[in-house]
Amino acid sequence: MGIAIESLHKSYKNGDEITEVLKNVNLTVSDGEFVAIIGPSGSGKTTLMNIIGCLDRPTRGKYLLAGQDTGKLNDRMLAKIRNKHIGFVFQSFNLLPQYTALENVELAGLYGNEPPRKVKEKAKEALSALGLENRLKYKPNQLSGGQKQRVAIARAIINSPSVILADEPTGSLDSKTGREVLDIFKDLNRKGKTVIIVTHDLNIAREANRILNIKDGIVEEA
Ligand code: ADP
Ligand code: ADP
């Protein structure tokens, strides 16, 4: 059922000033697609990702996720479908520094519906599948950038989301490590996940099946 966006607008209000960040976006993303979003700084990429990820709502227009009209959901229901369908990965990893790799993934897993023991087992499996079986007890500051991003990916997939949203996931990594992280997203996509990635790096964008270009709040197929 994927993602369907119709006549979507997003404005921010600062005092008397209204900035229209997204202008009449129409977009569908089918299940299993791998989409790259490119565009200059300030063009609205993160705003669009936040709306797709149900962290924010449009000012006008419609957004359907997995067949549900998110405009008809209250904040609690919106958070619920976010936890069920969406996994987030960020440029700066956003791991909790006081917790180990395993705990970071487990904490996210506890938002699912499984008992803690099962969550721990799944977290270990997810981290091991990403080559981190020897880093479970390490804290973020003891991990390299690539390792931190792999922990963040394990955290993003622990509740089996259908859609993975990654905002500049390679932006803090050197190009070799960035490639390795990209290969993880490609692999997840081959296994059926929808992947949407914001990137400044055209070499990364070219690996996607589809490139969207945002300029001044207008989204076009590239
Ligand atoms: P935000 O959405 O937070 O405003 P941007 O999308 O503008 O941030 O940029 C995300 C990150 O990418 C920033 O930390 C920025 O330093 C970095 N960045 C911006 N332009 C480039 C570029 N041409 N190449 C690589 N990284 C870039
Ligand atoms: P990008 O990710 O392409 O760099 P963003 O979506 O982060 O772009 O931002 C698009 C525009 O929206 C920018 O001009 C930014 O200043 C503005 N903006 C983003 N978030 C807010 C906010 N919460 N309040 C007001 N303006 C915002």
40-54: string of b/e by CB count within 10 Å (b at 16+)? eeebbbbbbbbbbbb
Evaluate if residue 111 carries a pLDDT over 90: no
Q: Which of 17, 37, 45, 47 to mutate to test the pocket of ligand 2 (most atoms within 8 A of CB)?
A: 47
Give the number of residues written for the chain: 222
Q: How far is the CA of 200 from the centre of ligand 1 (A)?
A: 7
14-27: string of b/e by CB count within 10 Å (b at 16+)? eeeeeeebbeebeb
Give nearest CA residue, ligand 1 atom 16: 171
Alpha-carbon gap, residue 102 to 79, rounded angstroms: 24
What are the tens digits of pLDDT across the range 33-48?
Answer: 999 999 999 999 999 9
Tokens of 72: 């008809």
Alpha-carbon gap, residue 60 to 159, rounded angstroms: 30
Nearest atom in ligand 2 to 43's CA: 3
Mean of the pLDDT values across residues 164-176? 96
Q: How far is the CA of 39 from the centre of ligand 1 (A)?
A: 10
Q: How far is the CA of 114 from the centre of ligand 1 (A)?
A: 37
Nearest atom in ligand 2 to 13's CA: 25
Give the number of domains in the chain.
1
Q: What is the pLDDT of residue 204?
A: 95
Residue 157 zone, left/alpha/beta (φ > 0; ψ -120 to 50; rest): alpha
45 Cβ inside 6 Å of ligand 1? yes
Alpha-carbon gap, residue 154 to 220, rounded angstroms: 31
Mean of the pLDDT values across residues 147-152? 98
Mean of the pLDDT values across residues 80-107? 97
| Cβ contact 189:35 at 8 Å | no
Q: How far is the CA of 186 from the centre of ligand 1 (A)?
A: 22
Ligand nearest to the CA of 219: 2
Q: What is the pLDDT of residue 112?
A: 84
Domain region containing 193: 3-221
What are the tens digits of pLDDT across the range 3-26?
Answer: 999 999 999 999 999 999 999 999
Average pLDDT value for the chain: 96
Mean of the pLDDT values across residues 186-202? 97
Q: Which of 200, 201, 215 to mutate to test the pocket of ligand 1 (most atoms within 8 A of CB)?
A: 200
Alpha-carbon gap, residue 3 to 197, rounded angstroms: 14
| Cβ contact 126:158 at 8 Å | yes
Ligand 2 pocket, residues with Cβ under 6 angstroms: 12, 14, 19, 21, 39, 41-47
Neighbours of 146 (CB within 10 A): 20
Q: What is the 3-state secondary structure (H, E, C) of the chain?
A: CCEEEEEEEEEEEECCEEEEEEEEEEEEECCCCEEEEECCCCCCHHHHHHHHCCCCCCCEEEEEECCEEHHHCCHHHHHHHHHHHEEEEECCCCCCCCCCHHHHHHHHHCCCCCCHHHHHHHHHHHHHHCCCCCCCCCCHHHCCHHHHHHHHHHHHHCCCCCEEEEECCCCCCCHHHHHHHHHHHHHHHHCCCEEEEECCCHHHHCCCCEEEEEECCEEEEC
Q: What is the pLDDT of residue 34?
A: 98
- CATH number for the domain that contains residue 111: 3.40.50.300
Order of all β-strands in the sheet with 17-29: 17-29, 3-14, 60-65, 68-69
What are the tens digits of pLDDT across the range 122-142?
Answer: 999 999 999 999 999 999 999
Evaluate if residue 113 carries a pLDDT over 90: no
Q: What is the pTM of this model?
A: 0.89
ipTM of the complex: 0.70
